[in-house]
Chain A
Amino acid sequence: MMESILVTIPFGDMIHYLSGYTGVLFGFAAVFVLLAVISLPEKPVEIVFGTDGYSLKETPLNLARFQRFMAIACGIATIGAIVTGDIFNFTLFAAFIGVLNIGIVAAVKNKHVLSAAFSYGLVVMMGTVPLFAGAAIIAATTGTLSIWELAATGGVPVIAKLLLLIGVLGEGMAPFYIGKAEITRASGAPYILMIHVSSLLLFLRVVEILLTV
């Protein structure tokens, strides 16, 4: 995987890099950040049952602004998780994405959505344990956290890789909980997309890391 490196940003022994693969992920995340910046909130349409009438639900401006901020921050955290060359930074970005996803969902004041966001919050908090444990075990066995050096030396224990994967599974669980917000047609349509984008890209990146180290 380390043959196709396009760009490197060295910070001491932590070399952040973009390969052809992560470059594509980076571009994807950047496009969705731009979309979150320029798009206006969707107005959900509610059909009046049994008639031809319908009503447009207006999204309050402060709710839209909060969700847009959270979505942009989530996109930037995703870009960070894609670019970073340090396993511990990757776990921190993953945990950060989890917190921001809670923020995007929890802005909607709807009992069902809030309880789904609460359950997701509990999963995110549990997910940090295997994430940090995996990174710590990698540091303890190999003596480094730099993906660049781990790619050269190898020797990452399988259990650490598994823990890292379980942790990302926990953080990237958001799309399973977000269903409540989408089914109840809660407002915040273009910004909720960022939850799907971030967890998808997080999975794709952790696969790249696990294959590289």
Chain B
Amino acid sequence: MIEFFADMDIIYKIGLAVAFIAIITAFSAVVRERDEISLLIIIDLIEITGLVVIALLATDLAEALILPGLVVGVAEIMAVSELWLVKEGLQNVRPVRRLDIEVLHTAPPIIGALLTAYGIFLTGFTGGLIAGLGLALFFLGKSTTENFLSSENASGYAWVLWVLAFLIFILFPSQWFLALMAAAVGIMIKVMAKIALVGTMRGDGS
């Protein structure tokens, strides 16, 4: 422990000490907390302290390591909070009223189609954003009884396409143009599906 701290930068030492004080404080909060949902939130805070230790690397590598760490943390809190909802029986879905005015019957299909077509023409992240806005607008004019699962499926396949494109980049660098196009289309569909989901949110109607 002593020789470990001896050959380190002084700033890194101070940062590590602060991070470990934060970790210990957060863990002592877990020991004292009894309410389950508060516990879940405190543990999500604890994960952030883990990311702080990674961030202390202070290089580009830190960024590359924080992103997967963050993704794992988000995946875990989503799984566990979903589990908590099932456990407590809080998953009742109530029907939701939608805003029933005439402009929501006529305008969304036209503007949505235009935005989506332009977004597909652009491809990539920007294209996905614009096409997604179009779809979100289109869904705003629809009732929530429709099956939105298919857009989530499309998002999953787009993710696979994106990963495959990266594999092509690594394994067959000569085919970089194919990989670039596949990645652009994949990220477009993915962003589009995610943004379109915003259009399906109506609150709980209470």
Contact = CB atoms under 8 A, between A and B. Distances in A.
Interface of A: 11, 88, 92, 95-96, 98-99, 102-103, 106, 109, 111, 114-115, 117-118, 121-122, 124-126, 128-133, 135-137, 139-141, 157-159
Nearest to B12: A140
B115 to A, nearest CB: 36
Interface in B65-85: 65, 68-69, 72-73, 75-77, 79-80, 83-84
Contacts of A92: 68-69, 72
Tell me if B's interface is mostly helix, strand, loop or mixed.
Answer: helix
A11 B169 CA distance: 13
Contacts of B51: 132
Contacts of A99: 72, 75-76, 79
Interface stretch (B54-62, B101-109, B120-128): B54-62
Contact of B76 (A11, A106, A124, A136): A124
A106 B83 contact: yes
Interface of B: 1, 4, 7-8, 12, 16, 19, 23, 27, 30, 36, 39-40, 43-44, 46-47, 49-51, 53-54, 56-57, 61-62, 65, 68-69, 72-73, 75-77, 79-80, 83-84, 86-87, 170
A194 to B, nearest CB: 17
Contact of A121 (B19, B54, B68, B80): B80
Given A114-B87, A135-B65, A136-B62, 17 more contacts: A88-B65, A106-B86, A111-B87, A117-B83, A118-B80, A121-B76, A125-B76, A126-B46, A128-B50, A129-B47, A135-B54, A136-B54, A136-B56, A139-B61, A140-B56, A140-B57, A141-B8
A159 B1 contact: yes
Given A128-B50, A132-B51, A136-B54, A118 B36 contact: yes
Contact of B43 (A125, A137, A139): A125
Given A118-B36, A122-B80, A132 B87 contact: no
Residue with the greatest number of chain B CB neighbours at <10 A, chosen from A95, A115, A140, A141: A140
A102 B49 contact: no
Contacts of B56: 136, 140
A99 B80 CA distance: 9
